[in-house]
Amino acid sequence: MTNELDIFVGNTTLIDEDVYRLWLDGYSVSDAVARRVRSGILEQTGATAAVLQSDTMDHYRTFHMLERLLHAPPKLLHQLIFQIPPSRQALLIERYYAFDEAFVREVLGKKLSKGTKKDLDDISTKTGITLKSCRRQFDNFKRVFKVVEEMRGSLVDNIQQHFLLSDRLSRDYAAIVFFANNRFETGKKKLQYLSFGDFAFCAELMIQNWTLGAVDSQVDDMDVDLDKEFLQDLKELKVLVADKDLLDLHKSLVCTALRGKLSVFSEMEANFKPPASGAEDRTPRIPAPQNLSRGLVNVAAKLIHNKDVRDLFVDLIEKFVEPCRSDHWPLNDVRLFLNQYSASVHSLDGFRHQTLWDRYMGTLRGCLLRLYHD
C-alpha cells in the first residue's frame, strides 16, 4: 500500500497580531498563554495546551529577533532573513511605536534621560501599564528624539523617513520631541484635564509658527527649537497695554464689534468703566477684555525667559482659561472674543508690530480654544 503525503514548504514569517499585542504589552510567555486560553482559543482551534505554549514561545522568539530591526525600521524593509509582506511590516512598525495615552501624559515635557527612566516603576504602578511596556515606549521616544533632534527639514517628514510611521503617528512623535526639547510643564494639577491630543494640537501650531523653521527651512533642528529672535521681539507687544490710548482704542473696537453678540457683553462692558471715586464696585466679576489682554500680552513678553517658556500652558490656564471658565463663558463667546481681539489690532494706526502680533496670536488663539473646556 502506497501512502501519499502532501508537503508544503514556505518561508513567510507568520505574525499573530494578538500574540504581538501581548508581547508589546509586556506580558511574559506564561501570562500570554493564560490570556490566550481565557480567550477560548483552545476550543476554537482544537489545539492542546502544550501546542499553545509552543506556539506562543515561537512567536515571542520571532518578535525578539525582529526587535533590533524595529529600532531602525528601514532595516526591516531591506533585510532578507524574515520574509514578511510589506503590509505586515507596516503593521509591525506602527504597533511597535504606538504608545498609551496614560503613559505619554506622565512623561510629556520631561527630559528623556536616565533620571526620568528611573521613574518608570512608579508610572507603571500608577497607570497599570506593565513596566516592560513602559520601557519600550520610553525608549522609543528617546530613540526618535536622538535621531531627529538636530536634523534639517520638517520634523514630521524626518520622523516618517527614518521610522516609516504613519502621518498621524509621526505628528504625535513630533509633538513629543518638541515638548521634550522645550521642557513644557504638563504635569501640574490644573493641567491634568488636558489630554495628549490637546498638547499635540498646540505643539503642531507652535512648530508651524514659532520655531526657526517657520522663517528658515534650511536651519538645523528647525522644528525643534523655538525662534529666540521671535521670543525676544514679543516684548514689543507690551505697548498694547502700556500705551493708554492704544489700550482704550483696542477696548473700544472690541466692544463695538461684539455688542449684541456675547451673552456676557453687558458685564464685560461694565468692567471697562472704573467705579466712581469712593464708590464700592458692585459690578459682576466677569473678566474684562483689558484684564485678559494684559494677561495675554504679559505671557508674550515673558517668553524671553526659559522658565516662562516651560510654564506657558500654566500661564494660559491661569490668565485666560480659568477667569473665563469661572464666569461661565460659553465656548462660542470665547471664540468670538479671541477672533475680534486679535483682528481689531489691525485697526490700531499707532501699532507697528502687526506681523509679530499675527504670528503670536494666530497660534495662541488656536491653543486657547483647544484648552478651553466650558
Q: pLDDT by residue (tens digit) across 151-207?
A: 888 999 999 999 999 999 999 999 999 999 999 999 999 999 999 999 999 999 999
Res. 239 pLDDT band, cuts 50 70 90: very high
**What's the confidence (pLDDT) of residue 286?**
45
Q: d(Cα 236, Cα 231) in Å, to the nearest integer? A: 10
- Which of residues 56 and 272 earns the better pLDDT score? 56
For residue 36, what pLDDT is reported?
95
Q: Which three cell numbers stand for residue 183?
A: 521642557
Q: Are 52 and 36 in contact (CB under 8 A)?
A: yes
Residue range 225-236, pLDDT digits in tens = 999 999 999 999
Q: Phi and psi dihedrals of 324, rounded to 5?
A: -70, -40
DSSP classification of residue 274:
P
226: three-class secondary structure by DSSP = strand
Q: Is residue 267 pLDDT above 70, yes or no?
A: no
Alpha-carbon gap, residue 256 to 68, rounded angstroms:
63
Q: Is the pLDDT of residue 6 over 60?
A: no
Say how far apart CA 268 and CA 266 lie, in whole Å: 5
pLDDT value, residue 265: 78
CA torsion 54-60-65-67 (nearest 10°) is: 170
Residue appearing with cell numbers 525600521:
73
DSSP at 318: I
Distance CA 263, CA 280 (A): 25
- Confidence (pTM): 0.89
- The neighbouring-strand residues paired with 152 are 220
